[in-house]
A and B are shown apart, each in its own frame.
Chain A
Amino acid sequence: MRALRLAVRLRPAKLALAVLGLVVVLMAVGDTIAPYDPLHQDTTAILAGPSAEHWLGTDYVGRDVLSRLLAGSRLSVVAAAEAVGLGLLLGVLPGLASVYFGRVFEWLSLRVMDGLMALPFIIFAIAVAALLGNGLHQAMFAVGVLLAPTFYRVTRAAAIGLRQAQYVEAGTLFGATRWRIVRTHVWQKVLPTVVVTTATAMAGALLVVSSLTFLGIGVQPPAPTWGGMLASDLGYLTQRPFGPVAPALLIIVTVAALNALADAIRDATGDGAPASAAPLHEEVPDAISAAVRR
């Protein structure tokens, strides 16, 4: 916890938190401050450029781009958060359990996580949307399941490192239960790593959400999303070449802020999760590379 407080004082973290705070506020109150109904079609102003009435212009059926962006933020961010939450649940708990619940569970969970790591995000999410019905919850279920191995690995690595630590051994000798050890010592150690991973996973999930909605997976057409807006802009580039700028910038700035936040926490804690600001599946040693190196 101390490390997290330290991290928040760093300047890049403050900036990132400010950006993220703004996104969250826009998400929460977006539809009340939006100048128009995101589905309202103004047929007198189709594919209009920025003006006093429409600050960011209008799209191909005359819908206000700013209002659609505000409304789309909620769908995109909530969906990404849903996926990350599921990934946390399915990753952290088995990660801890794999260290403390005996060999059979350890072996089984490692194999399942290896299997999940071989699944490509987008294609798996498309497949799940096809099998369980085309909705954002179904697609996010798929993304969450695929995020689980990342959380599983970082949690497990931190917990394994602690199994041998002398103060944990001392705690055990003093009669602390396994649950107490996990709750006090292990959790303290795992928390910063999990927070870093959550931030990068959130960035990755936002990219996946916008990619999927761009493909039309998970949303029904009139509903606005960041990716869906880009997809509809793509058809009218000759009339409105700068149309994609606003939704694209919103995606990029949010993702960059999440990555910067993760970097700041990592710098402050010193150890943290390995690898760079790049999104998913970064902490390698997967079974195949281990087999080759053996």
Chain B
Amino acid sequence: MRALHAVGRAALIAVPVLLISTFITFGLGALSDQNPAAAAMGETATQADIDRLNHEFGLDRPFLERYATWIGDAVTGDLGRSWFTHIPVAESIGQRLPVSLSIAALALLLAVVLGAAAGIGAALNAGGWFDRAVTAVSAALSTIPAFVAGIALIVVFSVLIPVFPAGGYVPPSQGVGPWLTYLMLPAVALSLDSAADLARQLRTGLVGTLRENYVTGAVVRGLGPRRVVFGHALRNGAGPAVAVLGLHVPRLIGGAVITETVFAMPGLGQLATTGALQGDVPVVQGTLLVAIALVLVSSVVVNVALARLRPGSGRTV
């Protein structure tokens, strides 16, 4: 029940946030003088063409009415049509979303696994060589943008030692093995920054927790190190790390857009970038709306998970 309440309250915040952020985006679109005729026909468009296409796409109606229609249609899954190809935007996004989500999800998984291993290892060995190595490497990794890491990975693992493909995408329906082979390099590139941050936060949290009296008590009672760390310390020491993880989810979604461009994958990034370069407003607005929705949903999920992980966190603050 408590979790349900938490979801409800979070949704109450998320919906206005979604409305405001989409309103800002839509307002920018209305302020600009972009129109489908100019976008599709360029200089050759006559005033009659412009008026006809503006009417077809409903651009001759008042701004607020257009926003209301757009957001109302969006709720039912209709994001309008591309000014260029006239393909429904929702359909294009539906084709590309799995690519971007695969990269982001695999990167999240890698970040959790790598970050947790490095962070726990460093905390248990605080002050030792492994701890210092983790600190140094994670500080270095957080200055490397994902697309630079991606290029470096291509140079090493596709050009110098050809083990992974340098780009492209195969859907999981054609075999999970090939799918993972194509996803591996982009996901690793995208995960590095989050893994580093997670390791740092987990190390700091755990080092503090391991000094607590109840941990000493558990050791004195004769519990093995595994039980002490995973049964007692981790649950309390992981809080900041999980919170940081929540912040990284939007970053992973945004980062997937660039990483997939490095690896020439047909994802949301390619859709948004080509849309932007052509001035295809509905495509870009639709992509942005989906990205915002993803960010908000993941934010709600992470926060509810956080509340469940540490029952005490619901009472404090």
Binding site for B on A (CB under 8 A): 111-112, 114-116, 118-124, 126-134, 203, 207, 210-211, 214-217, 227, 230, 233-234, 237-238, 241-242, 244, 248, 251-252, 255-256, 259, 276-278, 281-282, 284, 286-294
Inter-chain contact A127/B272, CB cutoff 8 Å: yes
- Whether the pair B197, A278 counts as a contact (CB closer than 8 A) is yes
Q: Which of B117-161 contact A (CB under 8 A)?
A: 139-140, 142-145, 147-148, 151-152, 154-155, 158-160
What does DSSP make chain A's interface, helix, strand, loop or mixed?
A: helix
- Flag if A126 contacts B273 (CB, 8 Å): yes
B23-31, B59-67, B183-191, B215-223 - interface stretch? B23-31
Additional A-B contacts beyond A214-B258, A256-B140 (8; CB < 8 A): A114-B20, A121-B254, A123-B257, A127-B28, A127-B288, A203-B143, A217-B277, A234-B151
8 contacts across the A-B interface (CB closer than 8 A):
A111-B17, A114-B20, A123-B291, A127-B288, A132-B28, A291-B303, A292-B10, A292-B306
Q: Does B14 have its Cβ within 8 Å of any Cβ on chain A?
A: yes
Cβ distance A170 to chain B, nearest Cβ, rounded Å: 31
Q: A127-B287, A288-B10 are in contact. Are A293 and B28 (CB under 8 A)?
A: no
Residues of B within 8 A of A288 (CB): 10, 13-14, 17, 296, 299-300, 303
* Residue B243 interfacial (CB < 8 Å): yes
| Residue contact B13 to A114, C-beta cutoff 8 Å | yes
A247 shortest CB reach to chain B, Å = 9
List chain A residues, Cβ under 8 A from B295.
118-120
Q: Which residues on the B side are within 8 Å of A131 (C-beta)? A: 28-29, 31-32, 34, 281, 284
Residues of chain B contacted by A277 (CB below 8 angstroms): 139, 142-143
Q: Measured between C-beta atoms, what is the minimum distance from A213 to chain B in Å?
A: 11
The verdict on B41 contacting chain A, using a C-beta distance below 8 Å, is no
- Supposing A123-B257, A131-B28, A276-B200 touch, asked if A289 and B303 sit within 8 A by C-beta, the answer is yes
Pick the contact of B151: A124, A130, A217, A233 (CB < 8 A).
Answer: A233
Contact of B313 among A233, A234, A293 (CB under 8 A): A293
Enumerate chain B residues within 8 angstroms of A244, measured Cβ to Cβ: 148, 151-152, 155
Please report which residues of chain B, range 1-20, place their CB below 8 angstroms from some CB of chain A when the two chains form the complex: 6, 9-10, 12-14, 16-20
Give min CB distance, A259 to chain B, whole Å. 6
B279 at the interface (CB under 8 A from A): yes
Contact indicator A287/B142 (Cβ below 8 Å): no
Let me know if B21 is at the binding interface, CB within 8 A: yes
Distance, CA A158 to CA B279, complexed state (A): 42
Distance between Cα atoms of A248 and B297 in the complex (Å): 34
Per the bound structure, the CA–CA distance linking A170 and B155 in Å amounts to 64
| Shortest distance from the beta carbon of A271 to any chain B beta carbon, whole Å | 17
| Contact between A291 and B12, CB atoms less than 8 A apart | yes
From 275 to 309 in chain B, residues with beta carbon under 8 angstroms from any chain A beta carbon are 275-277, 279-281, 284-285, 287-288, 291-292, 295-296, 299-300, 303-304, 306-307
Kindly supply a per-residue 1/0 record for chain B positions 78-106, scoring 1 wherever the CB is within 8 Å of any chain A CB and 0 otherwise. 00000000000000000000000000000
The distance in angstroms between the C-alpha atoms of A251 and B146, with both chains bound, is 12
CA distance A215 to B275 in the complex (A): 12
Q: A276–B145 contact, CB under 8 A? A: no
Tell me if A118 and B306 are in contact (CB < 8 A).
no
> What is the CA–CA distance of A122 and B25 in the complex, to the nearest angstrom?
14
Kindly report which residue of chain A lies nearest to residue B39, judged by CB atoms: A130
Task: Contact check, A256 vs B143: say whether CB atoms are below 8 A apart.
Answer: yes
Interface-central residue, B143, B306, B316, by most chain A CB under 10 Å: B143
Q: Does B261 contact A (CB under 8 A)?
A: yes
- In the complex formed, the residue of A with least CB distance to B7 is A292
Chain B 161-201 per-residue mask, 1 if CB under 8 angstroms from chain A, else 0: 00000100000000000000000000000000100010011
Q: Which residue on chain B has the smallest CB distance to residue A282?
A: B247
Asked whether B246 is an interface residue with its Cβ less than 8 Å from the other chain, the reply is: yes
Residue with the highest number of chain B CB atoms closer than 10 Å, among A116, A133, A210, A214: A214
Check B291 against A276 for contact (C-beta < 8 Å). no
B34: chain A residues within 8 A (beta carbon) = 130-131
- Min Cβ gap B100→A in Å is 10
Q: Report B-chain residues with C-beta under 8 Å of the C-beta of A203.
A: 143
Determine if A251 and B148 form an interchain contact, defined as CB atoms under 8 angstroms apart. yes
Q: What chain A residues lie within 8 Å of B14 (beta carbons)? A: 288
- How far is it, in angstroms, between the C-alpha of A207 and the C-alpha of B142 when the chains are bound? 11
Is the CB–CB distance between B145 and A207 below 8 Å?
yes
Contact (Cβ within 8 A) A118 B273: no
Query: Given A130-B281, A134-B276, A291-B10: A211 and B147 within 8 A (CB)?
Result: yes
Of chain B, the residue at the smallest CB distance from A286 is B299
B233 at the interface (CB under 8 A from A): no
Query: Complex Cα distance A214/B201, Å?
Result: 30
A282 to B279, CA, bound (A): 32
B155 & A118 in contact (Cβ 8 Å cutoff): no
Whether a CB of chain A sits under 8 angstroms from the CB of B110 is no
State whether the Cβ of B314 lies closer than 8 Å to any Cβ in chain A: yes
Tell me the bound Cα distance from A4 to B160 in angstroms: 46
Given contacts A292-B9, A293-B317, A294-B9, contact A133 B17 (CB under 8 A): no
- Roughly how many angstroms separate A273 CA and B214 CA in the complex, as a whole number? 31
B145 touches A211 (CB 8 A): yes
CA distance A53 to B283 in the complex (A): 46
Residues of chain B within 8 A (CB-CB) of A207 are: 145
Identity of the chain B residue whose Cβ is nearest the Cβ of A217 in the assembled complex: B276
Quick check: B20 and A127 within 8 Å, CB to CB? no
Q: Which residue of A lies closest to B296 (CB)?
A: A118
Asked whether B261 lies within 8 Å of A214 as measured between CB atoms, the reply is yes
